[in-house]
Amino acid sequence: MTAKIGSKHIAQHRGKKEREEIHKMNIAREALKIAAARARYRNQQKGQRAPAAAAA
């Protein structure tokens, strides 16, 4: 749960610009995760597990 200030959550006290920045940061963070996952499985054959050397 988000912390509260009085009867409102902290997120309700954020300005529009700050919310937009947080949204953009979240999208960028997810893009990095997706890119790392794609790189991990890029040159693999379907149905094959990664070799032990590549997994480490």
Look at residue 35 in the predicted model and tell me its pLDDT. Answer: 92
Look at residue 30 in the predicted model and tell me its pLDDT. Answer: 97
Given a contact cutoff of 8 angstroms between Cβ atoms, the answer to whether 33 and 40 are in contact is no
Look at residue 55 in the predicted model and tell me its pLDDT. Answer: 54
Ramachandran angles phi, psi of 5, nearest 5°: -120, 110
Measured CA to CA, the distance from residue 40 to residue 21 in angstroms comes to 29
Measured CA to CA, the distance from residue 39 to residue 17 in angstroms comes to 33
Look at residue 40 in the predicted model and tell me its pLDDT. Answer: 84
Measured CA to CA, the distance from residue 53 to residue 34 in angstroms comes to 22
Average pLDDT, the chain: 80
